[in-house]
Protein backbone atom coordinates (compact mmCIF):
# COMPACT_ATOMS: atom_id res chain seq x y z
CA UNK A 1 0.00 0.00 0.00
CA UNK A 2 1.34 3.41 -0.97
CA UNK A 3 3.95 2.11 -3.41
CA UNK A 4 6.28 -0.84 -3.86
CA UNK A 5 9.21 0.75 -2.04
CA UNK A 6 7.20 1.20 1.14
CA UNK A 7 6.65 -2.55 1.23
CA UNK A 8 10.38 -3.19 1.41
CA UNK A 9 12.26 -3.56 4.69
CA UNK A 10 14.86 -1.03 5.72
CA UNK A 11 15.25 2.64 4.89
CA UNK A 12 13.71 4.00 1.71
CA UNK A 13 14.84 7.44 0.51
CA UNK A 14 15.86 9.10 -2.76
CA UNK A 15 18.28 11.97 -2.12
CA UNK A 16 18.56 13.11 -5.75
CA UNK A 17 18.17 16.85 -6.14
CA UNK A 18 20.48 17.93 -3.38
CA UNK A 19 18.49 16.67 -0.41
CA UNK A 20 20.47 16.36 2.84
CA UNK A 21 21.39 12.93 4.15
CA UNK A 22 19.13 11.41 6.77
CA UNK A 23 20.13 11.82 10.42
CA UNK A 24 22.27 8.86 11.49
CA UNK A 25 21.06 8.65 15.06
CA UNK A 26 17.54 7.32 14.40
CA UNK A 27 16.99 4.11 16.36
CA UNK A 28 13.23 3.61 15.86
CA UNK A 29 12.15 0.23 14.53
CA UNK A 30 9.80 1.96 12.11
CA UNK A 31 9.27 5.55 10.98
CA UNK A 32 7.91 7.69 8.15
CA UNK A 33 8.20 11.30 6.95
CA UNK A 34 5.40 12.53 4.68
CA UNK A 35 3.98 15.70 3.18
CA UNK A 36 0.62 16.06 4.92
CA UNK A 37 -1.00 17.84 1.99
CA UNK A 38 0.31 16.15 -1.16
CA UNK A 39 0.62 12.76 0.52
CA UNK A 40 4.16 12.27 -0.79
CA UNK A 41 6.29 10.05 1.44
CA UNK A 42 9.74 11.65 1.57
CA UNK A 43 11.44 8.83 3.47
CA UNK A 44 10.51 5.76 5.50
CA UNK A 45 11.97 2.88 7.45
CA UNK A 46 9.99 -0.37 7.71
CA UNK A 47 6.86 1.66 7.00
CA UNK A 48 4.51 -1.32 7.00
CA UNK A 49 5.94 -3.26 9.92
CA UNK A 50 3.04 -4.34 12.11
CA UNK A 51 3.86 -3.24 15.64
CA UNK A 52 1.97 -2.51 18.85
CA UNK A 53 0.72 1.10 18.51
CA UNK A 54 0.07 2.10 22.14
CA UNK A 55 -2.02 5.27 22.54
CA UNK A 56 -1.28 6.60 19.07
CA UNK A 57 -4.21 4.32 18.20
CA UNK A 58 -6.41 6.92 19.89
CA UNK A 59 -6.05 8.96 16.68
CA UNK A 60 -8.16 6.32 14.93
CA UNK A 61 -10.54 6.24 17.90
CA UNK A 62 -11.02 10.00 17.67
CA UNK A 63 -11.30 10.06 13.88
CA UNK A 64 -13.99 7.37 14.13
CA UNK A 65 -16.08 8.77 17.00
CA UNK A 66 -15.62 12.56 16.96
CA UNK A 67 -18.49 13.17 14.49
CA UNK A 68 -21.00 11.23 16.59
CA UNK A 69 -21.99 13.82 19.22
CA UNK A 70 -22.05 17.60 19.67
CA UNK A 71 -19.39 18.81 22.11
CA UNK A 72 -22.08 20.02 24.52
CA UNK A 73 -23.65 16.55 24.91
CA UNK A 74 -23.66 15.54 28.58
CA UNK A 75 -23.22 12.05 29.99
CA UNK A 76 -23.46 10.78 33.55
CA UNK A 77 -20.82 8.11 34.07
CA UNK A 78 -22.09 4.72 35.17
CA UNK A 79 -19.96 2.19 37.03
CA UNK A 80 -20.14 -0.09 33.99
CA UNK A 81 -18.68 2.63 31.75
CA UNK A 82 -15.31 2.26 33.47
CA UNK A 83 -15.21 -1.53 33.52
CA UNK A 84 -12.34 -3.30 31.80
CA UNK A 85 -9.74 -0.54 31.95
CA UNK A 86 -6.29 -2.13 31.86
CA UNK A 87 -4.04 -2.09 34.91
CA UNK A 88 -1.58 0.78 34.86
CA UNK A 89 -3.57 2.71 32.25
CA UNK A 90 -3.10 6.43 31.79
CA UNK A 91 -6.13 8.18 33.28
CA UNK A 92 -7.50 11.71 33.23
CA UNK A 93 -9.58 11.27 36.39
CA UNK A 94 -13.13 10.45 35.27
CA UNK A 95 -15.32 9.60 38.28
CA UNK A 96 -18.38 7.38 38.54
CA UNK A 97 -21.75 9.12 38.90
CA UNK A 98 -20.31 12.44 37.72
CA UNK A 99 -21.56 14.22 34.60
CA UNK A 100 -19.19 15.31 31.84
CA UNK A 101 -19.62 16.92 28.47
CA UNK A 102 -18.30 15.21 25.36
CA UNK A 103 -15.90 18.16 25.13
CA UNK A 104 -14.49 17.31 28.57
CA UNK A 105 -14.00 13.69 27.59
CA UNK A 106 -12.19 14.52 24.35
CA UNK A 107 -9.83 16.80 26.25
CA UNK A 108 -9.12 13.84 28.50
CA UNK A 109 -8.41 11.63 25.49
CA UNK A 110 -6.10 14.02 23.68
CA UNK A 111 -4.25 15.70 26.55
CA UNK A 112 -3.90 12.99 29.19
CA UNK A 113 -4.41 9.98 26.91
CA UNK A 114 -7.07 8.98 29.41
CA UNK A 115 -8.22 5.41 28.93
CA UNK A 116 -11.06 6.21 31.33
CA UNK A 117 -12.33 8.89 28.93
CA UNK A 118 -11.99 6.44 26.03
CA UNK A 119 -14.07 3.84 27.85
CA UNK A 120 -16.82 6.33 28.68
CA UNK A 121 -17.03 7.50 25.05
CA UNK A 122 -17.02 3.85 23.96
CA UNK A 123 -19.93 3.17 26.32
CA UNK A 124 -21.80 6.10 24.80
CA UNK A 125 -21.14 4.52 21.40
CA UNK A 126 -22.74 1.22 22.38
CA UNK A 127 -19.83 -0.46 24.13
CA UNK A 128 -16.21 -1.44 23.62
CA UNK A 129 -16.96 -4.27 21.19
CA UNK A 130 -19.01 -2.02 18.91
CA UNK A 131 -16.39 0.71 19.10
CA UNK A 132 -13.62 -1.73 18.16
CA UNK A 133 -15.72 -2.91 15.21
CA UNK A 134 -16.34 0.70 14.14
CA UNK A 135 -12.62 1.48 14.36
CA UNK A 136 -11.64 -1.57 12.31
CA UNK A 137 -14.25 -0.65 9.71
CA UNK A 138 -12.94 2.92 9.54
CA UNK A 139 -9.35 1.69 9.29
CA UNK A 140 -10.36 -0.43 6.30
CA UNK A 141 -12.07 2.59 4.73
CA UNK A 142 -8.84 4.56 5.15
CA UNK A 143 -6.94 1.64 3.55
CA UNK A 144 -4.94 1.20 6.74
CA UNK A 145 -4.50 -2.50 6.09
CA UNK A 146 -1.73 -3.10 8.64
CA UNK A 147 -4.07 -2.29 11.52
CA UNK A 148 -6.07 -4.61 13.74
CA UNK A 149 -7.84 -2.98 16.68
CA UNK A 150 -8.53 -5.03 19.82
CA UNK A 151 -8.71 -2.30 22.50
CA UNK A 152 -10.01 1.18 21.57
CA UNK A 153 -7.53 2.94 23.86
CA UNK A 154 -4.39 1.29 22.44
CA UNK A 155 -3.71 -0.70 25.63
CA UNK A 156 -1.57 -3.74 24.84
CA UNK A 157 -3.67 -6.68 23.65
CA UNK A 158 -2.88 -9.86 21.70
CA UNK A 159 -2.98 -9.30 17.93
CA UNK A 160 -3.42 -5.54 18.26
CA UNK A 161 -1.12 -3.97 15.66
CA UNK A 162 -0.70 -0.99 13.40
CA UNK A 163 2.19 0.54 11.44
CA UNK A 164 3.94 3.85 10.97
CA UNK A 165 2.20 4.11 7.61
CA UNK A 166 -1.28 3.50 9.03
CA UNK A 167 -0.81 5.82 12.00
CA UNK A 168 0.14 8.55 9.55
CA UNK A 169 -3.06 7.87 7.59
CA UNK A 170 -5.09 8.21 10.80
CA UNK A 171 -3.46 11.53 11.65
CA UNK A 172 -3.95 12.87 8.14
CA UNK A 173 -7.62 11.92 8.13
CA UNK A 174 -8.24 13.26 11.63
CA UNK A 175 -6.60 16.59 10.85
CA UNK A 176 -9.36 17.29 8.34
CA UNK A 177 -11.70 17.69 11.32
CA UNK A 178 -11.69 21.05 13.10
CA UNK A 179 -12.31 19.55 16.54
CA UNK A 180 -9.52 17.00 16.03
CA UNK A 181 -7.06 19.77 15.13
CA UNK A 182 -8.03 21.87 18.13
CA UNK A 183 -7.88 19.04 20.66
CA UNK A 184 -4.59 17.74 19.25
CA UNK A 185 -3.01 21.19 19.57
CA UNK A 186 -4.27 22.00 23.07
CA UNK A 187 -1.42 22.46 25.52
CA UNK A 188 -3.43 22.64 28.74
CA UNK A 189 -7.07 22.72 29.83
CA UNK A 190 -9.39 22.58 32.82
CA UNK A 191 -11.02 19.23 33.58
CA UNK A 192 -14.01 18.84 35.93
CA UNK A 193 -13.14 17.53 39.37
CA UNK A 194 -15.20 15.45 41.75
CA UNK A 195 -18.29 16.91 43.39
CA UNK A 196 -17.74 17.62 47.08
CA UNK A 197 -20.18 18.61 49.82
CA UNK A 198 -19.21 20.82 52.74
CA UNK A 199 -20.53 20.68 56.30
CA UNK A 200 -23.42 22.94 55.37
CA UNK A 201 -24.48 20.65 52.54
CA UNK A 202 -23.28 22.97 49.79
CA UNK A 203 -21.83 21.15 46.81
CA UNK A 204 -18.89 22.35 44.77
CA UNK A 205 -17.05 20.87 41.83
CA UNK A 206 -13.67 22.44 41.25
CA UNK A 207 -11.87 21.82 37.96
CA UNK A 208 -8.20 20.92 37.85
CA UNK A 209 -5.62 21.61 35.18
CA UNK A 210 -4.43 18.96 32.77
CA UNK A 211 -1.47 19.34 30.40
CA UNK A 212 -0.76 17.66 27.09
CA UNK A 213 1.75 14.82 27.40
CA UNK A 214 3.04 15.48 23.86
CA UNK A 215 6.45 16.94 24.75
CA UNK A 216 7.02 18.52 21.33
CA UNK A 217 3.90 20.58 22.03
CA UNK A 218 4.23 21.26 25.76
CA UNK A 219 8.00 21.00 26.22
CA UNK A 220 9.92 19.33 29.05
CA UNK A 221 13.05 19.82 31.11
CA UNK A 222 15.17 18.46 28.26
CA UNK A 223 12.84 19.40 25.39
CA UNK A 224 11.94 22.75 23.87
CA UNK A 225 8.60 23.16 22.12
CA UNK A 226 9.20 22.22 18.49
CA UNK A 227 8.75 25.24 16.16
CA UNK A 228 5.51 24.92 14.20
CA UNK A 229 4.25 21.83 16.03
CA UNK A 230 0.48 21.31 16.01
CA UNK A 231 -0.12 17.85 17.56
CA UNK A 232 -0.84 14.94 17.16
CA UNK A 233 -0.60 11.94 19.59
CA UNK A 234 1.90 10.02 21.67
CA UNK A 235 1.84 6.59 23.26
CA UNK A 236 3.89 4.29 25.47
CA UNK A 237 3.27 0.71 26.62
CA UNK A 238 5.38 -2.29 27.56
CA UNK A 239 4.93 -4.02 24.20
CA UNK A 240 4.95 -0.93 22.00
CA UNK A 241 7.67 1.07 23.66
CA UNK A 242 7.28 4.76 22.83
CA UNK A 243 5.28 5.76 19.76
CA UNK A 244 4.43 9.17 18.33
CA UNK A 245 2.85 10.87 15.34
CA UNK A 246 3.38 14.61 14.95
CA UNK A 247 2.37 17.32 12.49
CA UNK A 248 4.30 20.57 12.04
CA UNK A 249 4.36 23.52 9.63
CA UNK A 250 7.28 25.58 8.39
CA UNK A 251 7.30 28.13 5.57
CA UNK A 252 3.97 26.86 4.26
CA UNK A 253 5.05 23.21 4.20
CA UNK A 254 3.17 20.79 6.47
CA UNK A 255 4.81 17.47 7.38
CA UNK A 256 3.70 14.39 9.26
CA UNK A 257 6.25 12.23 11.08
CA UNK A 258 5.55 8.93 12.81
CA UNK A 259 8.14 7.16 14.97
CA UNK A 260 7.63 3.72 16.56
CA UNK A 261 9.69 2.09 19.30
CA UNK A 262 13.06 3.87 19.39
CA UNK A 263 15.82 2.73 21.73
CA UNK A 264 15.43 3.90 25.32
CA UNK A 265 18.89 5.42 25.48
CA UNK A 266 17.67 8.90 26.40
CA UNK A 267 14.73 10.51 28.14
CA UNK A 268 12.10 11.62 25.59
CA UNK A 269 13.93 9.71 22.84
CA UNK A 270 10.79 9.34 20.70
CA UNK A 271 10.35 13.13 20.59
CA UNK A 272 14.01 13.80 19.92
CA UNK A 273 14.06 11.41 16.98
CA UNK A 274 10.81 12.89 15.68
CA UNK A 275 12.31 16.39 15.86
CA UNK A 276 15.39 15.26 13.92
CA UNK A 277 13.19 13.72 11.23
CA UNK A 278 11.09 16.90 11.06
CA UNK A 279 14.27 18.95 10.63
CA UNK A 280 15.40 16.65 7.84
CA UNK A 281 11.98 16.67 6.18
CA UNK A 282 11.74 20.45 6.04
CA UNK A 283 15.28 20.66 4.64
CA UNK A 284 14.56 17.90 2.10
CA UNK A 285 11.13 19.09 0.97
CA UNK A 286 11.22 19.90 -2.73
CA UNK A 287 14.54 18.10 -3.12
CA UNK A 288 14.07 14.46 -2.09
CA UNK A 289 12.07 12.44 -4.58
CA UNK A 290 9.01 10.71 -3.08
CA UNK A 291 9.38 7.01 -2.34
CA UNK A 292 5.65 6.43 -1.98
CA UNK A 293 2.37 8.09 -1.12
CA UNK A 294 -0.31 8.25 1.54
CA UNK A 295 -3.33 6.66 -0.10
CA UNK A 296 -6.84 8.08 -0.11
CA UNK A 297 -9.81 6.40 1.60
CA UNK A 298 -11.59 3.78 -0.50
CA UNK A 299 -14.75 5.84 -0.98
CA UNK A 300 -12.80 8.93 -2.04
CA UNK A 301 -10.69 6.96 -4.48
CA UNK A 302 -13.81 5.46 -6.04
CA UNK A 303 -15.60 8.82 -6.26
CA UNK A 304 -12.65 10.95 -7.39
CA UNK A 305 -12.20 12.29 -10.93
CA UNK A 306 -9.53 11.00 -13.29
CA UNK A 307 -5.85 11.92 -12.99
CA UNK A 308 -6.14 14.82 -15.44
CA UNK A 309 -9.07 16.43 -13.65
CA UNK A 310 -8.58 19.70 -11.83
CA UNK A 311 -9.71 20.65 -8.36
CA UNK A 312 -9.82 23.70 -6.15
CA UNK A 313 -7.01 22.48 -3.95
CA UNK A 314 -4.46 22.34 -6.75
CA UNK A 315 -1.17 20.48 -6.68
CA UNK A 316 -0.19 17.14 -8.13
CA UNK A 317 0.69 13.72 -6.86
CA UNK A 318 1.91 10.37 -8.13
CA UNK A 319 -0.02 7.12 -7.97
CA UNK A 320 1.80 3.86 -7.47
CA UNK A 321 0.94 0.23 -7.20
CA UNK A 322 0.44 -0.99 -3.68
CA UNK A 323 2.02 -4.01 -2.06
CA UNK A 324 1.05 -6.18 0.83
CA UNK A 325 2.09 -5.09 4.32
CA UNK A 326 5.32 -6.32 5.80
CA UNK A 327 4.92 -8.27 9.01
CA UNK A 328 7.02 -7.33 12.00
CA UNK A 329 7.43 -8.23 15.71
CA UNK A 330 0.88 3.36 20.57
CA UNK A 331 -12.34 23.99 21.39
CA UNK A 332 -13.12 26.75 23.08
CA UNK A 333 -16.02 26.27 25.38
CA UNK A 334 -17.06 25.93 28.97
CA UNK A 335 -14.64 23.93 31.06
CA UNK A 336 -12.37 23.48 28.04
CA UNK A 337 -8.82 24.33 27.24
CA UNK A 338 -6.90 27.30 28.41
CA UNK A 339 -3.93 26.84 26.16
CA UNK A 340 -4.47 25.68 22.65
CA UNK A 341 -1.52 26.35 21.04
CA UNK A 342 -0.78 30.77 18.38
CA UNK A 343 -1.92 29.85 14.94
CA UNK A 344 0.46 28.24 12.51
CA UNK A 345 0.58 30.80 9.72
CA UNK A 346 -3.10 31.63 9.60
CA UNK A 347 -4.35 31.68 6.05
CA UNK A 348 -1.51 29.57 4.69
CA UNK A 349 -3.66 26.45 4.74
CA UNK A 350 -6.81 26.44 2.65
CA UNK A 351 -9.96 24.46 3.35
CA UNK A 352 -10.54 21.68 0.85
CA UNK A 353 -14.18 21.99 -0.17
CA UNK A 354 -16.27 19.38 1.60
CA UNK A 355 -13.21 17.76 3.11
CA UNK A 356 -13.08 15.49 0.02
CA UNK A 357 -10.03 13.72 -1.32
CA UNK A 358 -9.17 14.38 -4.96
CA UNK A 359 -7.16 12.01 -7.10
CA UNK A 360 -3.63 13.36 -7.61
CA UNK A 361 -4.50 16.55 -5.75
CA UNK A 362 -3.19 18.15 -2.59
CA UNK A 363 -5.17 17.71 0.60
CA UNK A 364 -4.74 21.01 2.46
CA UNK A 365 -5.13 21.11 6.21
CA UNK A 366 -7.49 23.96 7.12
CA UNK A 367 -6.56 26.46 9.84
CA UNK A 368 -3.94 24.26 11.47
CA UNK A 369 -3.25 25.68 14.91
CA UNK A 370 -0.38 25.76 17.38
CA UNK A 371 -0.48 27.06 20.93
CA UNK A 372 -3.57 29.23 20.41
CA UNK A 373 -4.97 30.65 23.64
CA UNK A 374 -8.39 29.55 24.75
CA UNK A 375 -10.58 31.60 27.07
Residue tagged active-site, from 30, 89, 90, 113: 113
Q: Among residues 114, 185, 204, which one has the least CA distance to residue 337?
A: 185
Distance (Å, whole) CA 357 – CA 230: 22
Could you confirm whether 89 is annotated as catalytic?
no
Could you confirm whether 55 is annotated as catalytic?
yes
Q: Report the C-alpha dihedral over residues 163, 165, 168, 169, rounded to 10 degrees.
A: -110
Q: Among residues 231, 218, 216, which one has the least CA distance to residue 168?
A: 231
Residue tagged active-site, from 58, 190, 233, 362: 58
Return phi, psi of residue 182, to 5°.
-70, -45
DSSP tag of 9: S
Distance (Å, whole) CA 265 – CA 152: 29
Distance (Å, whole) CA 278 – CA 215: 14
Q: Among residues 162, 172, 330, which one has the least CA distance to residue 262?
A: 330
3-state secondary structure of 95: coil
Sign of CA dihedral 35, 317, 183, 98: negative
Residue tagged active-site, from 30, 55, 185, 320: 55
H helix or E strand, kind and range, residue 65: helix 58-65
> Any residues with CB less than 8 A from the CB of 177 and at least 6 apart, and which?
63, 66, 67, 355
Q: What DSSP string runs through 19-44? A: PPPPPS----SEEEEEETTT-EEEEE
Catalytic residue ranges = 55, 58, 113
Amino acid sequence: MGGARLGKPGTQVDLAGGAPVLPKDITARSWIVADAESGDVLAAHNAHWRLAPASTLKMLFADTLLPKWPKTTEHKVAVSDLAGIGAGSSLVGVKEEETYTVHDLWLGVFLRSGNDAVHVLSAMNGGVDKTVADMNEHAEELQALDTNVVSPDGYDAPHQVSSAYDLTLFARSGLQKKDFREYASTVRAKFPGQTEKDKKGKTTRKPFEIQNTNRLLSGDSDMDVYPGIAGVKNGNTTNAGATFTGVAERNGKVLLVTVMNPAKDEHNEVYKETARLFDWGFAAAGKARPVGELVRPRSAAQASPGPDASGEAGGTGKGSAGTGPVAGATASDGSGGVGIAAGVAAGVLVLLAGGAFLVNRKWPLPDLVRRRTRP
